[in-house]
Structure 1
């Protein structure tokens, strides 16, 4: 009986001291240059509003097109622009970036 109590108390002590790992999502920070991107390929989630910013020295034009080739949203991003909200998206939508330089897409 003493062995059982000793083993049981050691088991309880160890089970309360085991810490589970802390899981955190990595923040989204994608840099995109001129081209056509599918939302599915960028690993973006549906129905989430994202921020877009032009950090380059040239003006960039951004267009979001749905699967029926209808323009959902378009925006001209001046050089070194502030952050703008875009979205929400669906997986079949496409992001078209026109102009030299690159943009940063964040959550």
Structure 2
């Protein structure tokens, strides 16, 4: 009986230790976006949240936000290593265009 309990305990210990899953959360990892056309999903932004944008590169950048009717909602010229500039709230139907060689980061 002792052998059975000992073997069962060892077996269960090995069984639970083999199936461990390590979860790692990435907190505040900011992505850099270069020249291109982006949707809200591409940028990983949420609708109706106030975001800020900054240029973290050595080059100028230019950001334009278009609504669903292709009307310009906001345009910002970003100098190299700029401070954070507030953006108007962006909707899911809006499109963001980044021009220039700058690399932009969005934060809230």
Do both proteins adopt the same fold according to a TM-score greater than 0.5, normalized to the shorter chain?
A: yes
What stretches of structure 2 of length at least 5 have no aligned partner?
1-24
Aligned partner of 1:63 in structure 2 is 64
What stretches of structure 1 of length at least 5 have no aligned partner?
1-23
Q: Secondary structure at the match of 1:47?
A: coil
Deviation at 1:25?
Answer: 8.9
More helix by proportion, 1 or 2?
A: 2
Q: TM-score, normalised by structure 2?
A: 0.70
Q: Distance in 2 between matches of 1:33 and 1:63?
A: 13
Structure 1's consecutive aligned runs of 4 or more residues displaced over 6 angstroms after TM superposition are none
Q: Distance in 2 between matches of 1:102 and 1:80?
A: 9
More strand by proportion, 1 or 2?
A: 1
Q: How many residues align?
A: 84
RMSD, matched Cα: 1.7
Aligned partner of 1:78 in structure 2 is 79
Conserved in 1, the CA contact under 8 Å of 2:55 and 2:105? yes
After superposition, the Cα gap between the structure-2 partners of 1:79 and 1:25, relative to the gap in structure 1 and judged at 3 Å, is closer
1:32-58 CA distance string (max 9 Å, x none): 000010013323111111110001111
